[in-house]
Every structure is written in C-alpha cells, then in structure tokens.
C-alpha cells in the first residue's frame, strides 16, 4: 500500500494548479520544490512517488494526471504527496506544448503515424477546455487510434526521466536521512558526556 495522506494535504496540492494572482509563478514553483525536498518518510517510498509523478507528468495524458498519479502511487507504494507535487511541477503551461510535441515526434518515428502536429494541438485544446468525461469521449474514444502513437511516444520519452528521478531523489533522501542520523548520534553522545560530568561532580 502507498503511504496514507491526510485529505487537507491533498487539497493543498490541488490548489497548486490554481495559482493566486498575487503570487509569481517562480515563487510558487520554489515553494513546491521546497515542500518536496522537506518531505519526510522512507526514502524508497518518496523516490517511488517522485518517479511516478515524473512519469505521469511527462506523458500526454491530460486531464488524467492526478487520477493516474494517485492510482500508480497506491499500486506502486509511492509517496502520494511527492507524486502529485512532482506531476504538477513537470507539467505546466510552459512545458506541456514541448512535452506533447516530443511525444508526437517520438511516436511518429516509432509507429510511422501520419498524424499531423496541427491535429495534436487541436486535441490538446479540447483536453484543456472540456471536462474529463468529454475529454474521454472526444480524445480517447473518437480519436484513440490517432492518439495511440502520441501515447506510445510519451511513454518512451518519459520513462528515462522517471528512472533518473527515482535514483537521484533516492540519493538525496538517503543522504539527508544519514545526516539527520549522524546529528542525532552526535547530540546523544554529547548529552551522555554532559550527564557523566554532572554525576562525577
């Protein structure tokens, strides 16, 4: 099972997509990055959550990123908060067009699809402007065959980033955990020396 997360924490993450007009995008990204770095828990669970969030965030699966991240974190025993935060960080208005373009290009090379970039942009607009149910009908039912090459390209494109995110975040969290353990051992050692001095006096 993935790590259980209080509902209020999940709601706070969802607010990330609705940026306060008074807060700059740079500050918002920095805040979410610091939240990610300061997350506590098993380094392996945290790293799995980050890998899942990276993988889903880079795939052309809007508007299903949140649902897919929650599902994969539950199945893959990943940290849900880490997965959702990373998914929002890697998938934003600045990066989404590039992600879809690369997914389309890689998919076209792999499958020989004749799907045009103009059609992909049109479908992107539909996914952004309509609700989830309508997106399923318009894109993943009516245009599924057309989008299959884009989905395949997105998976191939995002997988190396997810693997890199897993190992780099695992290294970061293990190093942080070791530093905390060393500080705790040092503090306990100093406390022990102080109590011995007091008892001798």
3-state secondary structure 104-134: HHHHHHHHCCCCCHHHHHHHHHHHHHCCHHH
What is the rounded end-to-end Cα distance, in angstroms, of the chain?
53
The region of weakest confidence among 56-60, 62-66, 155-159, 164-168 is: 62-66
The mean pLDDT of 76-95, rounded to a whole number, is 92
Nearest CA among 127, 129, 146 for reference residue 137: 127
In a domain, 1, yes or no: no
Asked if pLDDT for residue 1 goes beyond 50, the answer is: no
pLDDT tens by residue, 47-57: 999 999 999 99
pLDDT tens by residue, 57-82: 999 988 889 999 999 999 999 999 99
Domain count along the chain: 1
pLDDT of residue 8: 53
Domain boundaries, position 51: 7-200
In a domain, 74, yes or no: yes
Asked if pLDDT for residue 191 goes beyond 90, the answer is: no
At 3 the three-state DSSP class reads: strand
158 or 12, greater pLDDT? 158
Report, in angstroms and rounded to the nearest whole number, the Rg of the chain calculated over CA atoms.
22
pLDDT of residue 185: 79
Q: Predicted confidence band at 43 (pLDDT cuts at 50, 70, 90)?
A: very high
The region of weakest confidence among 66-75, 134-143, 158-167 is: 134-143
In a domain, 114, yes or no: yes
pLDDT of residue 94: 85
The mean pLDDT of 130-136, rounded to a whole number, is 71
In a domain, 2, yes or no: no
DSSP codes joined into one string, 50-108: HHHHHHHHHSS-TT-HHHHHHHHHHHTT-BHHHHHHHHHHHSSTTTHHHHHHHHHHHHH
What pTM did the predictor assign? 0.77
58 or 32, greater pLDDT? 58
In a domain, 176, yes or no: yes
In a domain, 130, yes or no: yes
The mean pLDDT of 158-167, rounded to a whole number, is 98
The mean pLDDT of 18-22, rounded to a whole number, is 50
**Residues 85, 52 contacting (CB under 8 angstroms):** no
In a domain, 24, yes or no: yes
Report how far residue 117's alpha carbon sits from residue 38's, in angstroms, rounded to the nearest whole number. 40
pLDDT of residue 22: 53
136 CB-near residues (< 8 Å, 6+ apart): none
Q: Predicted confidence band at 200 (pLDDT cuts at 50, 70, 90)?
A: low
């Amino acid at each position: 099972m993935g790590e259980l997360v209080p509902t209020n924490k999940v709601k706070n993450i969802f607010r990330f997509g609705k940026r306060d007009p008074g807060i700059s995008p740079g500050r918002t990204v920095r805040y979410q990055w610091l939240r990610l770095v300061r997350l506590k828990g098993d380094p392996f669970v945290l790293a799995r959550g980050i890998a899942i969030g990276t993988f889903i965030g880079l795939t052309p699966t809007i508007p299903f990123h949140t649902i897919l991240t929650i599902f994969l974190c539950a199945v893959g025993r990943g940290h849900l908060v880490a997965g959702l935060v990373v998914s929002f960080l890697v998938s934003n208005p600045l990066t989404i067009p590039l992600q879809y373009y690369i997914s389309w290009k890689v998919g076209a090379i792999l499958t020989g699809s004749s799907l045009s970039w103009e059609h992909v942009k049109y479908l992107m607009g539909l996914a952004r402007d309509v609700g989830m149910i309508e997106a399923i009908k318009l894109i993943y039912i009516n245009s599924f065959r057309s989008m299959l090459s884009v989905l395949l390209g997105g998976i191939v494109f995002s997988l190396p980033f997810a693997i890199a995110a897993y190992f780099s975040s695992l290294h970061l969290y293990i190093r942080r955990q070791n530093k905390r353990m060393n500080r705790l051992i040092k503090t306990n050692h100093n406390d022990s020396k102080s109590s011995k001095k007091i008892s001798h006096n």
